[in-house]
């Protein structure tokens, strides 16, 4: 038993990240671990009922059975909603004032799975707000589940759609706007028909079937290679824009009508400008990867900009503490106060449609208003030792570094942030510079330091 507890603890150390849980199913994330996490989460929260859903991964039902057994073994109830995007759980948690758990590994490969948690009212749970306590509770030795449990699936689609309608009214969207959607065979496919009916969406979709094998390409829109077919579809059919969702559809990446990818930072500026026009004074939380030119632009217009570490649990908590209107990440997670401060790729799509409807502009015309420095996008490096690589970079630059999250370096004509991923064994670099030559030189310098 002692050895088994050590094995469980070792696996928990590997899969508990800064703001969620992720591991390879059958290796670091096992049925036993899933059962223990079900018990642990049910002990951590005060509510007698927990909302549980999952995305479309192949291992979800096996993991759900174990999690549900853990929850019910602690005499708590499972409100099971089935296959849905992550933001549906967040929205229901806010609407019903219940804690939520979604089984998902977001954009990770098909072998992976994991968990995202929230407390009642969609309150975030991360490493500094309960995740360590859940991990500690999950490391205990529990009795194996006895017997079969029967959990009924709840029909909640109309509740979710009605919530969206309170934020973006269907009559505010021009149904003549034609666009393309790449579902990536992820969870967006579980609600797209309901969204289309409610909002009269005028779109052409590719890879909309929910398929945990992800047979067409990884459900990771942060990789531009995964956007090639979407951009070709937009340009071929002269659509207004394209949008690609990740595996659990809490993130949406857009391209304009000319095939340009709209970065998460530019979308942060677009939505912030729109909200500022309507509210006159707004607070916006952004992570360390949103470039200074975007932050300075919005600050110059009177937006109260608040900087955060990367990760949904950090941004949500700051938004709650500050009662912020909006939150934006360079990685294309977008948060809204009216959505219980939670991120939603679906709501971002609806807001973007309303902005285009009101402004009567194409997306390329809209983004032409933003003349920011050239940006690298996110560049990933697989390294043996994250801390060692970051230390080498620090030694290679003259000025001191900001260390809110990873290291950030500021010069008048360039900037970069480099940090270890919270979900994968990688270094992530984001940079901008006043011209492409300077940017390319900066990227080459940092690459050489990391790879030497």
Span 123-133, average pLDDT:
94
pLDDT band at 49 (very low <50, low <70, confident <90, very high): very high
- Residues 230 and 213: their CA atoms lie apart, in Å, by 19
What's the confidence (pLDDT) of residue 383?
87
- Asked if 421 is an active-site residue, the reply is no
Q: Which residue has the tokens 């900087």?
A: 307
Span 420-433, average pLDDT:
85
Average pLDDT value for the chain: 94
Q: In this predicted model, what pLDDT tens digit does every residue of 439-450 receive, in sequence order?
A: 999 999 999 999
> Is a pLDDT exceeding 70 seen at residue 390?
yes
Q: In this predicted model, what pLDDT tens digit does every residue of 276-333 receive, in sequence order?
A: 999 999 999 999 999 999 999 999 999 999 999 998 999 999 999 999 999 999 989 9
pLDDT band at 5 (very low <50, low <70, confident <90, very high): low
Who's near 250: CB < 8 A, 6+ residues apart?
A: 85, 86, 87, 90, 106, 312, 333, 343, 344, 345
The angle at the Cα of 324, spanning 318 to 327, to the nearest 5 degrees, equals 75
Span 386-408, average pLDDT:
93
> Is a pLDDT exceeding 50 seen at residue 2?
no
> Is a pLDDT exceeding 70 seen at residue 249?
yes
What's the confidence (pLDDT) of residue 451?
85
pTM of the model: 0.94
> Is a pLDDT exceeding 90 seen at residue 341?
yes
Give the ranges where 74-184 is alpha helix by DSSP (H): 86-96, 131-138, 157-167
Span 125-144, average pLDDT:
92
Dihedral in degrees, nearest 10, Cα atoms 421, 422, 424, 429: -10
**Given 42, 59, 106, 331, which residue is catalytic?**
106
pLDDT band at 1 (very low <50, low <70, confident <90, very high): very low
Span 122-143, average pLDDT:
93
Span 98-108, average pLDDT:
96
Query: Do 294 and 266 touch, CB atoms closer than 8 A?
Result: yes
Check residues 6 and 362 and name the one with the higher pLDDT. 362
Other CB atoms within a 10 A radius of the CB of residue 412 amount to 7
Report the candidate in 118, 137, 126, 91 with the shortest Cα–Cα distance to residue 20. Answer: 126
Q: Could you tell me what percent of the chain has a pLDDT over 90?
A: 88
What's the confidence (pLDDT) of residue 100?
98
Check residues 19 and 323 and name the one with the higher pLDDT. 323
pLDDT band at 377 (very low <50, low <70, confident <90, very high): confident
DSSP, collapsed to helix, strand or coil, labels residue 306 as: strand
Give the ranges where 249-385 is alpha helix by DSSP (H): 264-279, 292-300, 312-322, 345-359, 363-367
Sorted by where each starts, the structural domains of the chain and their CATH numbers stand as 2-154 (3.40.120.10), 159-261 (3.40.120.10), 262-367 (3.40.120.10), 379-451 (3.30.310.50)
> Is a pLDDT exceeding 70 seen at residue 51?
yes
């Amino acid at each position: 038993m002692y050895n088994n507890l050590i094995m469980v603890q070792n696996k928990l150390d590997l899969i508990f990240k800064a703001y969620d849980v992720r591991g390879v199913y059958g290796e670091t994330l096992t049925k036993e671990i899933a059962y223990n996490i079900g018990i642990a989460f049910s002990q951590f929260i005060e509510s007698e009922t927990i909302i549980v859903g999952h995305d479309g991964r192949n291992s979800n039902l096996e993991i759900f059975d174990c999690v549900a057994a853990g929850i019910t073994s602690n005499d708590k109830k499972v409100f099971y909603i089935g296959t849905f995007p992550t933001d549906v759980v967040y929205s229901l948690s806010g609407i019903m004032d219940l804690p939520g758990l979604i089984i998902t590994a977001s954009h990770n490969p098909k072998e992976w799975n994991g968990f995202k948690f929230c407390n009642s009212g969609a309150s975030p749970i991360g490493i500094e707000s309960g995740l360590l306590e859940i991990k500690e509770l999950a490391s205990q030795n529990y009795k194996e589940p006895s017997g079969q449990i029967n959990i009924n699936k709840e029909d909640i689609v109309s509740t979710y759609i009605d919530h969206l309608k309170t934020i973006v009214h269907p009559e505010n969207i021009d149904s003549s706007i034609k666009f393309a959607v790449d579902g990536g065979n992820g969870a967006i496919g579980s609600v797209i028909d309901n969204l289309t009916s409610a909002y009269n969406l005028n779109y052409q979709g590719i890879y909309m079937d929910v398929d945990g094998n992800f047979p067409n390409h990884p459900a990771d829109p942060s990789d531009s290679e995964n956007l090639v077919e979407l951009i070709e579809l937009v340009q071929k059919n002269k659509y207004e824009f394209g949008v690609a969702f990740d595996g659990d559809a809490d993130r949406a990446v857009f391209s304009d009508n000319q095939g340009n990818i709209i970065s998460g930072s530019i979308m942060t500026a677009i939505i912030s400008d729109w909200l500022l026009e309507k509210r006159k004074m707004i607070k916006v939380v952004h992570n360390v990867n949103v470039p200074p030119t975007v932050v300075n632009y919005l600050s110059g217009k009177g937006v109260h900009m608040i900087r955060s570490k990367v990760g949904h649990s950090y941004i949500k908590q700051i938004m709650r503490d500050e009662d912020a209107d909006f939150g934006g990440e360079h990685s294309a997670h977008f948060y809204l106060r009216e959505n219980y401060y939670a991120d939603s790729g679906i709501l971002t799509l609806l807001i973007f449609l309303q902005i285009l409807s009101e402004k009567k502009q194409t997306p390329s015309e809209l983004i032409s208003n933003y003349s920011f420095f050239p940006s690298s996008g996110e560049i990933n490096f697989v390294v043996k030792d994250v801390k060692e690589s970051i230390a080498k970079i620090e030694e290679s630059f003259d000025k001191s570094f900001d260390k809110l999250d990873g290291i950030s370096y500021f010069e008048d004509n360039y900037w970069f942030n480099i940090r270890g991923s919270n979900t994968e064994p990688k270094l992530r670099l984001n940079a901008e510079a006043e011209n492409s030559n300077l940017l390319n030189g900066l990227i080459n310098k940092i690459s050489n330091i990391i790879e030497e």
